[in-house]
Amino acid sequence: MNHQGEVIAVNTSPEKGTRKTNAGESCLLPGLGLKDDAHAGQWHRQVSLLAMESIEKMVRLGLKVGPGDFAENITTQGLDLLKLPVGTKFRIGASSLLEVSQIGKVCHTRCAIYYQAGDCVMPKEGIFARVLEGGQIKVGDEIHVLGGDSDHQ
C-alpha cells in the first residue's frame, strides 16, 4: 500500500452542507480543524478528506465536479484513504499531525451537494480526522502515513 500522497486542494466554506472553495492554503488548528471552515470544532470530524480519484469517478459518470464540490476540506491524490484504519496517524506538510477518526459517514438528509452533483461520494469514500498538531498546509504538500511509534518524532 502506498503510504504517501499529495494535497491537491485545501477547501473551506463558511457554512456546512455547501460546496467548498479551494483556498490553496490554510492553517490546521489543534483540536479544532481547518481555520475559517464551518466544520471546525471540538468533535471527531474536524477535517474531512476525499481522494481526487473518487472525484474523477463522478466525473466519468458525467458530473461536472472538482475539488471541494463534495465539501471535503482536503482533496488528496495518490493515497488510498479507505485503507487507513481509524486511529491511523498521518502528517501533512512540515508540522501537521492528524489521526483518522471516522471512515465514511451516514447522510440522513440529502444535502445541497447531493442535489447539485446528483450523487455524493463523501459518505462512502471520504474519511475524517482529528487535528493533533497544527500548522500551515498548502496545495502540493506531501501526506505521510505513519507506521509504528518510531515514526512519531
Cβ atoms within 10 A of the Cβ of 54, count? 19
- The enclosing domain of 78 has a CATH number of 2.40.33.20
Question: Which residue range forms the structural domain that includes residue 137?
Answer: 4-151
Count structural domains, the chain.
Answer: 1
C-alpha cell at 45: 470530524
End-to-end Cα, the chain, rounded Å? 22
Give the pLDDT of the chain (153 residues) as one tens digit per residue.
557 999 999 999 998 878 899 999 999 999 999 999 998 999 999 999 999 999 998 888 788 889 998 889 999 999 999 899 999 999 999 999 999 999 887 665 666 666 666 666 676 889 999 999 999 999 999 999 996 443 443
- d(Cα 84, Cα 90) in Å, to the nearest integer? 10
The single-letter code of the amino acid at 85 is: P
